[in-house]
Homo-oligomer: A and B are copies of this chain.
Amino acid sequence: GTDVHLWHGKLAGVPYPLIPGHEAVGTIERIGPSPISYLNGKEIKVGDRVTFHDVTKTCFSCYYCLIAKTPTKCPNRVVYGITMDSTKFPHLIGGYSEYVYLIPGTHIIKIPDHVSFDGAISVGCALPTAIHAVTRSPMKHGLNVAVQGAGPVGLMIAILAKISGAATITSIDQAPNRLKITKRFGVTHTLNIRETDLEERKQALYEISDGHGPDIVYEATGNALAVPEGIELVREGGTYTICGQYTDSGTVEMNPHLMNRKHLDIRTVWGSETTHVY
């Protein structure tokens, strides 16, 4: 997987673990009854160090998979530890059990020898979500971007922006230690929402981007109030990509005229596909 390699090349030697949670890494203990392969066709062997995409299965026969080309909306998907019931076969479905039974069809990814388990642990979930978000945005070299949120997904987005040649990357968060870590990964500017107000953040981003505002703003906060702020921050004609609103925290006040006047692309991003981890 090219993303894994790239990502490793940039991350090696930094402090870990960054990303706690339901993602899982491990060593292949048993295979069978028949041989199975990685997505690149190479056979999986006992002893291989692996991780796997937490979305194991989409049906590829429903409207969302085939027609709408939005497999992350497939009603038949199976997600490890989320859509499965551990009282039923195969039981061992979460990353916290000692063994995990990987259902046939799971997309298993070999961890390169030079990447530690800690380094690989985010491949299963935060990275694919971040890749999905970046893929849905017009990211390219030379752009000015801002990322709301410096948690696992926000950090991964910032790293992908760095790898993609963004001119400036501004991380916005309230936790000084998170912001400090983003700097180690190539983020060029940080803004602490506890130390600045909206107007100051807007002004700072204008100056960082030669007076236009960021070309792309990514939302990865989980805080509903981040959304109206993101619309204020992105430049006219820019793109606002929302991927952090995974839980329902109700409505917020938004200004449709401001949205319209700024001539925006607003793209919301739900889940990830196997494409995004390969």
Contacts and interface: CB of A to CB of B under 8 A. Distances in A.
A88 interface: no
If over half of A's interface residues share one DSSP class (helix, strand or loop), that class is named, otherwise mixed; here it is loop
A165 B164 contact: yes
Nearest to A250: B255
Contacts of A67: 39, 274-275, 278
B268 A236 contact: no
A164 B138 CA distance: 12
A34 interface: no
A62 B245 CA distance: 31
Q: Of A2, A236, A259, which is in contact with the most chain B CB atoms at under 10 Å from its CB?
A: A2
B73 A105 contact: no
A265 B164 CA distance: 22
A149 to B, nearest CB: 13
Interface of A: 2-3, 5-6, 39-41, 60-64, 66-70, 72-73, 105, 135, 139-144, 160, 163-165, 167, 210-212, 224, 226-228, 235-237, 242-271, 273-275, 278
